[in-house]
Chains A and B, each alone.
Chain A
Amino acid sequence: MKFKDIIGGISRSESVKDVYISLFSILLALIIGAFLIFLIGSSPLQAFTVMFDGAFGSVSNIANTLTKTIPLIFTGLAVAVAFRCGLFNIGAEGQLYLGAFFSVLTALKFSFLPAFILLPVAILGGIISGMIWGGIPGFLKAQFGTHEVVVTVMMNYIGINITSYLVNYPFKAEGWVAQTDIIPTAAILPKLIPKTQLSAGLIVAVIAALAVYFLLWKTDIGYEIRAVGENPTTAESGGINIKKNISLAMAISGGLAALAGVTQSLGVYERFIDGFSPGYGFTGIAVAVLGRNHPLGVILTALLFGALETGALKMDRVTEISNDLVIVIQGLVILFVAAPEIIRSILKRRESQ
């Protein structure tokens, strides 16, 4: 199966059946996960109870879950917007590193600005760098027909290593760790709940999701982006500029991905740290796929993944089960979603019975 087919299969319809497939995939993955836990000699019920408690058992646990949800919402949205235009953005990881670094750099270099304006400027600095980094592969695709998958993958390496160089040499803070200085207090995203890592990044994430929904379904620009994604030939004969929309969709996608890095750096670490992301950009692909490239689906899926990962922290401590299990469950979910035919055939058999 080609990339185009997968994308086409995913973005074509938002029928109820699609939602079923997502839910069914989650359920199936959890059951297999339970079976794996059982195989290694632990209790699946205990494991899942502990995970649920770890993710939602208290206010601070919920805060932890939401903290882990924030970057996934952004990268999920980023991949979804590109998908809607028929593009596969594998470059979210590099884009979020760029965004993170330049938002921190902006915060450090423009610290003379009045407090109320520093934070928005820092966020904007991050978004713009991400838009440029995401826009380049879009522009190359539009102008020269280079494959955006190849270019974004390569630009991940370039982006991550550029920021790594910058934080190891010119902008390194005193001491052992490859990190920048702490940003001024005015540039820190305020904490929503004290003594947790949950920051106002959550609000930014929800606003971004609403903005994406509004853009894609309530504006002409969004209509054009989706038209190009659905069928470029028809779109072109309808007078839509394909090249412009491809570049634009990738730039928006890059800007959204950048926000994942921006909110982590300005909200959690309060500085840029070399290699801080555990692969949010790649998990974002899974989030978009499972969330059916819809902002609401992305939020719900990011929340599910955030809860799984936060729950895993507790499971890791309390039980004998490694938190790597969660990665297995996430992988299985994606496998089932990406191979919808399996689920469809099961559903079909169920209907015929």
Chain B
Amino acid sequence: MRLKKIMLFSLVVFFVFSLTVSIGAAEDKFGLILATGGLGDQSFNDLTYQGMGRAQEELGITFDYVEPKEIADYETYQRDLAKSGEYGLIVTVGFDQASALEKIATEYPDQKFAIIDMVVDKPNVASYVSKEHQGSFLVGALAGLMEKQNSNPKLNDDQVIGIVGGMDIPLIRKFVAGYEAGAKYVNPELEVLVDYVGGWSDPTTAKEIAMAMNRRGADIVYHAAGGSGLGVFQAAENEDFLAIGVNSNQNHIKPNYIIASMVKKVDVATYDSVKSVLNDSFEPGVHNLGIKDGGIDYTRENSEVEVEEEIIEQVEDLKEKIKSGEIEVPDTIEAVESFLN
């Protein structure tokens, strides 16, 4: 009866090892519900996880995180975590959790929630969004200065740059406004081409748009088009011009063609939300983080494109000016004109 022996043995093994592990109930416990991409996406999921990790180290909290496999899991997880009552705050990541959260936040009015990169208007939800226009201003200024200098071999003589948006919606026009304002602020001669893909996962169209822009002289193209943006990078590689990444550090995708990335530091938003609960200063409503709060920045890390030190210095200088409030970056395209005059 070999089989029985094996089974018995495994049972014994279970028991022995179950004794060595105990589930500790922590006082300051937090929950993190990631977006379906899961850990390892080198984007929002990894960043929010890092934010929690930092809170664990610096603030002494503990946290549980979960990786939903499908959209239907959001509701299940949110309800499961809320119902357990164990968590001081439940942080949810990504815009597609919003419709589930609206339901669950109403079901559990005493549970505190935070949502990253989306707004859910409930009295127990803190919504963390970012001032993308500020970061876009900096990369726009970087592009404008490089055009002015015109020393990079990938740049042509035309004073033209471009931006490819995912959709023509107010949120994306914020990126456009900041980018254009930044570029023209340092280089008034510049022409900025703007076009929209019409979708977030259509790299083919984005590539066509970027190549058309390049034919019209644009040699630095920024994107705010989610997954479609990968097409912009492909176009840059094919036609040998430069590009700028968005949201997370995308420089590694095409290090020889991407100058920099505008980054939303959702790790900071995550950390801040945890801290607010610990300090008893949790505030529902919209938290709009910008450069001053460390919620928005740009990065050149991993980029192989050479940029003169003096250009970086000037951009850093602008960053300080935005921080101090000396420069107020416009967040609508209509406001760009009056900003520049």
The residues of A with any CB-CB pair to B shorter than 8 Å are 27, 31, 34-35, 38, 42-46, 48-49, 60, 64, 67, 164, 168-169, 176-178, 195, 197, 264, 268-269, 273, 276-278, 309-310, 313-314, 316-318, 322-323, 346, 349-350, 353
Contact = CB atoms under 8 A, between A and B. Distances in A.
B297 to A, nearest CB: 23
A264 B72 CA distance: 9
Contacts of A164: 201
A195 B201 CA distance: 33
Contact of A168 (B72, B73, B199): B199
18 contacts: A27-B7, A42-B17, A44-B13, A44-B14, A44-B18, A177-B95, A264-B72, A269-B71, A269-B72, A276-B71, A276-B72, A278-B69, A317-B31, A317-B77, A318-B23, A323-B67, A350-B3, A353-B2
B96 interface: yes
B72 A317 contact: no
Interface in B56-78: 64-67, 69-73, 75-77
Contact of B76 (A34, A43, A46, A197): A197
B64 A44 contact: no
Contact of B107 (A48, A64, A168, A195): A195
A313 B200 contact: no
Contact of A176 (B7, B14, B95): B95
A45 B14 contact: yes
A317 B31 CA distance: 8
B341 interface: no
Interface string B78-109: 01110100000000000110000000000100
Contacts of A42: 17, 21
A64 B76 contact: yes
A303 to B, nearest CB: 17
Given A34-B10, A317-B81, A45 B70 contact: no
A1 to B, nearest CB: 26
A350 B200 CA distance: 58
A278 to B, nearest CB: 4
Contacts of A48: 14
A35 B67 CA distance: 23
B76 A177 contact: no
Contact of A46 (B3, B23, B81, B171): B23
Interface in B178-194: none
Most-contacted residue by chain B among A177, A276, A317, A346 (CB, 10 A): A317
A314 B20 CA distance: 20
A151 B69 CA distance: 28
B231 to A, nearest CB: 15
Given A314-B80, A350-B3, A43 B72 contact: no
Nearest to B72: A268
A313 B76 contact: yes
B277 to A, nearest CB: 19
Contacts of B2: 349-350, 353
Given A268-B72, A314-B80, A43 B18 contact: yes
B72 A197 contact: yes
A317 B71 contact: no
B107 A317 contact: no
A29 to B, nearest CB: 12
B197 to A, nearest CB: 11
Interface in B269-320: none
B72 A67 contact: yes
A46 B20 CA distance: 10
A85 B214 CA distance: 56
Contacts of A276: 70-72
Nearest to A44: B14
B104 to A, nearest CB: 10
